[in-house]
Amino acid sequence: MASLRQLKKDIDFLLSLVLEECMYVAHAYPEADKEKIFEIAGKVIASHRELRLKVNHLNGKDNPKLVREYLRKVVDDLYKSADTALEDLAATIKPVH
């Protein structure tokens, strides 16, 4: 991990891409459930806030090994949050047969 600053930028970037995708689906697919899409977007925003707070308030600041494990968990949570949101978003689009 390069730095806390870079991790914060990564959180901002990845979740903003997911949020942008939510807005794209809401606009481009009229058959998609808009309420569900905005619910997913709300979860992405809440996840962003939660992850940034976790980075700002580290546990075990005196022990580098604990900090490293804690930040790995934050990164895992980031990927899990983005992946879940994108899967939920894909489920809102009904395939055309």
Band of pLDDT at residue 96, cut at 50, 70 and 90: low
- Those residues whose C-beta lies under 8 Å from the C-beta of residue 59, and which sit 6 or more positions away, are 66, 67, 70
Domain ranges of the chain: 4-92
Mind listing the pLDDT tens digit for each residue in 51-80?
A: 999 999 887 778 888 888 999 999 999 999
Q: Name residues whose C-beta falls within 8 Å of residue 23's C-beta, 6 or more positions apart in sequence.
A: 41
Average pLDDT over residues 23-47: 94
In the chain, the percentage of residues whose pLDDT exceeds 70 is 95
The pLDDT of residue 2 is above 70: no
pTM equals: 0.88
Contact predicate 55/11, CB 8 Å: yes
